[in-house]
Amino acid sequence: MTQAAAKTGAGPTAMVAVEQYFPAQQRIITDDLAGPVLPFGARMLVAAMRPAFARDWMVRATERAFPGLWSGMMCRKRYIDDVLIATAGEIDAVVNLGAGFDTRAYRLASLAHIPVWEVDQDAIITAKQARLRQRFGKLPAHVALVPIDFDAEALGPALIARGYTQDRPTFFIWEAVTQYLGEPGLRATLDVLATAPRGSRLAFTYVLKDFLDGRNLYGQARLHERYVKSNIWLFGLDPKDVSAFLAPYGWRVNEDFGYDELAERYVIPTGRSLASSPIERVVCAERA
C-alpha cells in the first residue's frame, strides 16, 4: 500500500466528525468518537467547521470538487455499521483491514465483548494508539492494533502474532482499501481471508474498473486525475465480475450496492440533497 494511501487515513473520519455538527435528524451517521480519535491537526480543522456556515461550506466544497464523495463516505460507513450490528451474534471476531481512525470497535455496543483487530500502516497505528490512550486512559482490552504494509508483509502471521486464531467466525472489514493495493497484495490478503471458517462475513468497497481504465469517467475527471493518473488508485472491479472474483476464495456475495441505492436508505430520510458517487460500490459477502 502506498504512502499516499496512508495520508488519507484521517480524512474519512474527519468528514464523519464534521457530519456530527448537523442536527441529529439530519445526520447520515452518528459517531461521537470521530472527532476525539483524530490527530491534533485534524481535530483543529474539524473544530473550525463547528459553525453551521463553515460546516455547510465544507460539504459544498467537497461536493464541488468530488461530487458524491460526502454522501458516499457516510453511506458506506453507515451500511457497514448496520451489517456488522445485524450479524454480531453470529461472529466471534472482527478484523478491520485498513482501519485508519475508524471508531466502530469503540462505539458499537454489540462489539464491546468481541475481540477486534485493527490493521493499518505503522504511522496510522501509532497515531491512533496515542489518541486512544489519551481518550480512554489505555487501549480498550478487546482491541488489538496491528501495524502492517499490505503489499510487503504477510497479514496472517501478523494477526496470529497478536492473538487472532483462524477457527473463529470473523467479520472482515475492508473499507476503501482495495483500490490502493497492487494485485499481489490484494490476492495475498484474500488468501488469508480464504482460511476463515464458514459463516464469516466480509464487507468491502471497490472502485469501478472502467473508471480506473479511463473508459468511463462518470463526470469525475478531477478525481481520476488526482487518484488514478498519479497511480494512487491501482485496482478496480466490474460489478458483473465480483462473484467470480471472490468465489475461488470461498466467498459468496450477499449484497452489492451502488451508492445511489444506499442514498435512498440513508440520505433521503435526512431531507438533505446530496449527490451520489457512481464510481464506488460496497459488497457484503459470506463464507459459503
Per-residue pLDDT for the chain (288 aa), expressed as one digit of tens each? 444 444 457 899 999 999 999 999 999 999 999 999 999 999 999 999 999 999 999 999 999 999 999 999 999 999 999 999 999 999 999 999 999 999 999 999 999 999 999 999 999 999 999 999 999 999 999 999 999 986 678 899 999 999 999 999 999 999 999 999 988 889 999 999 999 999 999 999 999 999 999 999 999 999 999 999 999 999 999 999 999 999 999 999 999 999 999 999 999 999 999 999 999 999 999 998
CATH at 93: 3.40.50.150
Assess contact for 72 and 276: CB atoms under 8 A: yes
Give CA–CA dist 113/217, Å, rounded. Answer: 44
d(CA 109, CA 124): 24
Helix (H, G, I), strand (E, B) or coil at 216: coil
Distance CA 18, CA 26 (A): 12
pTM over 0.75: yes
Range of the domain at 219: 3-287
C-alpha cell at 233: 488508485
pLDDT at residue 3, rounded to an integer? 45
Report the domain count for the chain.
Answer: 1
- In 3D space, the residue among 100, 104, 245 whose CA is nearest the CA of residue 186 turns out to be 245
- pLDDT value for 36: 96
